[in-house]
Amino acid sequence: MKISLRLKFFAVLLAFSLAPIFISRGLMSNASHDVIEETGNQTRRELLGIMSDEFEYTASSLLILMERGSEVMRLGTIGVAREVEGILTKTPPADGPEPFMANDFGDPDLTPPDAARRQGYSRRTMEGGQELIQVSFDYPTFHLPAHVDERAVEPEMRRLLQAMPGIKIIFRNLAKAPFWINVVMESGVMMTYPGHGRLPIRHDARREEWYRKARNTDSCQWYHTVDPASRFVVNKVAFPLRDASGRFIGAVSLDIPAHTMMPDERLEARWGGEVRTFLVERIPEGQPTDKGLPILVQLEPNEKGRRHWRSAVEQEHLTFDEPVGYEILLHALDTRDSGVVDVSYKGAPSLCAFASTDTFSFLVIAPKAVVAKLPNEVAGTLQNLFTEMRVLSSIISGVMLLITGLIAWFGSRAITKPLFRIVAVAQQLTRGDFSARIDHRTGDERDDLVRSINEMGPKLKELMHLNRDLEVAQEVQRLLLPGAEPELSGFDISGGILYCDKTGGDYYDFLRVCRREPPCLAVVVGDVSGHGIPSALVMAAARGQLHTLSDIEMAPHERMAAINRVLARDLDGTGRFLTLFYLQLTADSGLVRWVRAGHDPAIRYTPDTDSFGELHGEGLPLGVVEDYAYATSEATLAEGEVLVMATDGVWEARNGEGEMFGKKRMLAIIRENAHKCAEDIRLAMMAAVEAFQGNGQEDDIAVVVVKKGTGGTSMARHSISFRMTNKENCFKCFQPKVEAFGIEHGLHPKIVFHLTLVLDELITNIISYGYADFDVHPIDVTIALEGDRLTIRVEDDSEPFNILEAPEPELDLPLDQRTKPVGGLGIHLIKNMVHGIHYKRENGKNVLTLHKDISKTHCPVQG
């Protein structure tokens, strides 16, 4: 029979109070020691598990917050740049407020009237402390290098002042942190907001590395520098300024001290120990790991003295005391999105909680000693109680018999009750009961632990539900989309979709709807009202109905009516509906039949007459009226005619100024690309929409292109195009497609191997060296075969790089005699595997075209 800890306390104290003082003192000392040790060990184990879960959740939450903060800084920098570029096109004002100069800051007559010492804006002192500095939120200040004439650049300073209303609006929308916004011009003028002084006389921002690099880029870039005013290390995001002709005229930067981005102080106060946080870069596969994890952001140490503003910020690495824990951590980062690992850090056993993306990880490192505080307090309380009891029992054993019993009973109950409740609730949480709560209050530090456990349940429940929903949504999206492009004699067909969220309501599909000859193919494009998981589930239901009815011979309008009856009953009262365009094609025939269920008409283009039309038709969206009667329409396509079906995410896409993409741009793209295959027309359409959107994709985009082929035979495909991103495992993406292309066109296995190896080397170089940010970037690949000529085209928006200019590796010399850096073997391999290479930089993209004559590889096309 299990006896509770409270009864054990009572029985032991009562029995030993009757024994001689000497014996009772010795025996009670041993018993109390065992109880204290057992209680402390059990509490430590439970708290260690609780702390691990909370740190893992904390790391994931802080990673999300830091990603959002970085995106806000990037968008703010671009917004300031656009504001300044717009102002610089205007005529400078003849009069207006006089600009305040940074060197005059401190002079009462030349300092902005609102200048005051502001919390968060401080300067590091020589003794390692901080002092607040004066800043102005109403006016910026200007700084000029020593050799720049103030009168010569005064018009430019007045012109920059006109941009301040817009800059202030952007500043107020930033997070509450000590941000600096700097505008540096090629003339040497530097405008800083909030306005402040403290800039060195010899400071010239044009000589700094971030400004020099901004000249050669068209995107936001991140830098770590030392701020000349505060001497703190700052995270700087910079964006170039260019005039209407594209000439570089300056740069904008948004600075925030690195230490303000990290939550160490709040975590340390919460846990009462030394908790450290780091943002580290993931080490790519195959790279050496002995130096440790490269640190991107950390809390800056409060070292003596000040960093000089001309000193470089060296790359630091996070290292651990023993290699086994470090290797376990690296493996966990490669295999899991988040978790907790035991490590030894700075001589202390610690917990390392992490949350990762493909390129960086957020780490929270806490010594296990932080969990020992509460058990030690409990043990100390028990020890004091036993000492009191031993002293009292030695003075008056008989009288204290009743008193000892009462103290033992009620005292042990009061001490152990919160501990048992904490343990019970922790066990409920581990079993998945997230509604468990602790109602007990102790009035001491244990209340912090109670509050943490009570807050942990809802957060863990919300996280589990979110993960479960995302898994369902991803499975829905995988089932919705066709696995491959269809083949129908006499037609060239291609479809694709881009979702603005992880799930969406747009949909396209291809179905074989006729089992007799000639074969028929249904092309479907649909759009469910709304976004997200509910819309995806509605589309999954509609897709199931379409595929179920595909084996039944029925007219298109009958098929739509059958689906509508089911959806109308299922969606009754939900307010949701589905627009659908159903197009039925017949092999080797120009006859097309369609039903329009509330969706926009398909666009029809005839190249011979350069005329556009639409496939009209009347019909309500599916799921609105249960007994609605749909109608089938018919038309005949001529050779070369193009049909384009799309969702409203195409023509309703907006740029940064709010202008819609519109159908006129769609028609222009169709006309310009009508001579190409269906897939090239679709890719051109989707690429144009993606480039047009100024604030990112706000709606799902689905496009299907049908082109009537020439002659009565099946259109042979001699090309394949696909898109990947730098966040994917690209080899797994393209390797099956390349092999399928080789099998379809009878390429020798050796040719397929060469093609796969060339693509792997090219894309690996692009991902490893081409991107300076953590954003997702597309990589487009097209492979074409014309006779014995194999063409590979790769487009990416990474940093400009021409492999034709890469130096040849010194293969004939030993390593110790080579004068060039070791490397370049991949590019050397590519050059030797193809017979022609052409590079160009076009519309901000690297376009690399490679040609290979497969007849010269001694393994020509088979069959």
Residue 472 banded pLDDT, cuts 50, 70, 90: low
By the 8 A CB rule, do 32 and 331 touch?
Answer: no
Q: Over the stretch 101-157, which tens digit does the pLDDT of each residue have?
A: 888 887 888 889 888 888 888 887 777 678 888 899 999 999 998 888 888 888 888
> What's the whole-number mean pLDDT along residues 558-567?
91
pLDDT for residue 712 = 36
Q: Which of 11-25, 351-365, 406-420, 557-571 has the lowest mean pLDDT?
A: 11-25
pLDDT for residue 304 = 47
End-to-end CA distance of the chain: 83
> What's the whole-number mean pLDDT along residues 262-270?
60
What 3-state class would DSSP assign to 651? coil
pLDDT for residue 25 = 58
Q: What percent of the chain has pLDDT over 70?
A: 80
> What's the whole-number mean pLDDT along residues 592-600?
93
pLDDT for residue 703 = 94
User: Taking 90 as the threshold, does the pLDDT of residue 300 lie above it?
Assistant: no
Q: What is the CA 695 to chain-centroid distance, rounded?
A: 16
The type of residue at 701 is: I
> What's the whole-number mean pLDDT along residues 799-812?
77
Give the phi and the psi of residue 758 in degrees, each rounded to 5: -60, -45
Vertex 430: Cα angle to 416 and 356 (nearest 5) = 125
Of 32, 44, 45, which is closest to residue 5 (Cα–Cα)? 32
How far are the Cα atoms of 289, 456, 704, 768 from residue 354, in angstroms, in the given order?
18, 18, 42, 23
- Report the chain's mean pLDDT, rounded to a whole number: 80
Q: Over the stretch 204-246, which tens digit does the pLDDT of each residue have?
A: 889 888 899 999 998 888 887 888 877 777 888 999 999 888 8
> What's the whole-number mean pLDDT along residues 350-366?
85
Q: Which of 92-96, 315-319, 703-707 has the lowest mean pLDDT?
A: 92-96
pLDDT for residue 681 = 92
User: Taking 70 as the threshold, does the pLDDT of residue 266 lie above it?
Assistant: no
> What's the whole-number mean pLDDT along residues 274-296?
82
Check residues 275 and 847 and name the one with the higher pLDDT. Answer: 847
Check residues 289 and 4 and name the one with the higher pLDDT. Answer: 289
Instruction: Measure the CA–CA gap between 555 and 560, rounded to whole angstroms.
Output: 9
Instruction: Measure the CA–CA gap between 685 and 37, rounded to whole angstroms.
Output: 71
pLDDT for residue 714 = 36
Q: Over the stretch 241-264, which tens digit does the pLDDT of each residue have?
A: 998 888 999 999 998 887 676 665
Sheet containing 778-786, strands listed edge to edge, beginning at the edge strand earlier in sequence: 719-725, 778-786, 789-796, 845-853, 836-842
Count the neighbouring beta carbons within 10 Å of the beta carbon of residue 16: 23
Instruction: Measure the CA–CA gap between 379 and 799, rounded to whole angstroms.
Output: 61
pLDDT for residue 313 = 58
pLDDT for residue 807 = 76
User: Taking 60 as the threshold, does the pLDDT of residue 64 lie above it?
Assistant: yes
Residue 667 banded pLDDT, cuts 50, 70, 90: very high
Out of 27-41, 284-298, 487-501, 799-813, the most confident range is 487-501
User: Taking 50 as the threshold, does the pLDDT of residue 455 lie above it?
Assistant: yes
Pairing of strands 506-514, 317-318: unpaired
Dig out the tokens for 752 from the structure.
């397929």
Residue 716 banded pLDDT, cuts 50, 70, 90: very low
> What's the whole-number mean pLDDT along residues 678-690?
90
Pairing of strands 130-136, 141-143: unpaired
pLDDT for residue 299 = 65
pLDDT for residue 711 = 37
pLDDT for residue 863 = 37
Check residues 543 and 822 and name the one with the higher pLDDT. Answer: 543
User: Taking 80 as the threshold, does the pLDDT of residue 6 lie above it?
Assistant: no
Dig out the tokens for 320 from the structure.
């651990």
Q: What percent of the chain has pLDDT over 90?
A: 17
Check residues 827 and 810 and name the one with the higher pLDDT. Answer: 827
